[in-house]
Chains A and B, each alone.
Chain A
Amino acid sequence: MVVTGLGAVTAIGRRVEEFWANLTEGVCGIRPVSLFDASSYRTQTAAEVSEIPDDFLSPGQRRRMSRADRMGIVAAAEALAASGLDLSREDPTRIGVILGGGTSGLLDSEDFYARHLAGRKARPSRVLNHLPDAITDRIAQHWSLEGIKSTITTACSSSANAMGYAFDAISSGLADVVITGGSDVLARLTYGGFNSLRSVDPEPCRPFDRERRGLSIGEAAGILVFEEAERARRRGAPVQAEFLGYGVTSDAFHMTAPDPSGAAGGRTIRAALASAGVDAERIDYVNAHGTATPQNDSAETAALKDALGERARRIPVSSIKSMIGHCLCASGAIEAVATVLTVREGTVPPTIHYENPDPACDLDYVPNAAREADVRVAMSNSFAFGGNSTVVVFGRA
């Protein structure tokens, strides 16, 4: 199965090209929060998308849609255009939409709830926008698609899982093409929630650094067009990369803490390698979950060593969350977009803000500057609250 289109809306680029240029330049998108008044929170920074290029939507459409809907539609439009699919000639029942979601348009629903709590009349039009399946339905609606629709809600691994579901749906013959990925935006709930757990760094996050103090929250839409390989080749599609396989497992350890031994994460990586049919020696790059919380980065390092053995020490591992923040339910998708571009372009994006080596994180994290590398097979890790772990594997086309 192959990837024939990519779309990205992030704090450092509202199109794939701009995103990639800034990613490889090491541009940081973490800035003061502007979407709501953050002055009473413990921290005040996040990786926000500054302006959503949604001019092609009518004013009425924009009014009905949440911020997450609009970002998702923009990224899907870019991905579909890149794929070269002529939807007017396709069977709409064979094209599906499978996304990951969670926070979604909660920001709107929070406004409704705040007014309701204050005893004021609240406009109902966008009250249900936070239900994450809305974006999936809207993308299908926008392009008149009639195939499988599904939304995975496994918190921070949602959109990675969605790609896995898309892969299984195409492999089993349920669909020919699936628009997959996710769109998730900043909201008071997640911002306040991670702050309440003291998991947010007041400064831009520093993955794998000894002085790391937590994550930076981000928002993004990342959309990928998955297509059955033979069909894509027949129509001369611009194949970006191959989706080789994925692993999805349960830590069964703790609701918020990762297994520090790395055994749980190691199981997910091994499941992904088995699904992709590659051994550890063939992995050339890891796009890490790398949230910059003290617990995640050391547990993830241990998991990489557990599953990849000596290979883990010989390959680049980087966290683009240092630039675009932790985009929560969209992080798996936007990081998959970056992983596909890494495979396609032969450039590894850096982990920025990296200064102090940590003995518990002793791999090559590509500090502060991008690097040329011959990446034939790459994997991307996503770990979530609940111990929902997913690893996806891409290969050069």
Chain B
Amino acid sequence: MKSRRFSAFVDAILGNRRPRRFEPRAEDADAMRAAIELRASQPGATLPSPEFVADLHRRLADEFGDAHAEATEPIERPVSRRRVLQGITAVAAAAAAVGVVVDRELLNPADDGKTTATAKSLEPDHGTWQRVAATADVPPGEVTPFATATTVGFVVNDGGNLRALSGVCTHQGCLLKHNQADGRLDCPCHRAAFSLDGDVLFQQFPGTLAPLPTVKVRDRDGNVEVYAPPPV
């Protein structure tokens, strides 16, 4: 009976046990979500046990310790990469969409403090032109977010001229949001904002913030295309 299974779910959550599989009704799903939220709100509930942290550390060392070392030795690389990549391709491809391939150099200015924050271009070593929108959907004055498998950003149509900017904050890599009302790109993490040219408008933390790198963009046969790395 369904209600018994739902009660068993709540019992499992309250007992910090793995709940059993069942087919919830639509109204069960909401209630299950509330039970999870209430359980997770108990003091200390969300903290991992030291045993788990240590055990997972050991397991990961077994699995990845030597693989990452081998990556610096090209002769070993084909073997270790194949092993590492087993079974993870689909998830990795999904995860790659957040723009993790943005080169470190394009984020904060050099750590020696001598470099001035100048805008750079995000040009992959092996990129391809990828369609991100129809040209008709980005009329003059329009700002459109885009995401390829490896890059996120915004295409700006500035009076008929297309421009593309990285959509990753140069502070800590948070994804920027287009603030239409103020005509800028806001970082939701630490109160910083960039102009639609990629310049830093303001920041509320110490240090220098690099402008947003630009991404190559073109209008081709009625399509807006950006030059970005192919999927991982």
The answer to whether A and B assemble together is no
Footprint of A on B, CB under 8 Å?
Answer: none
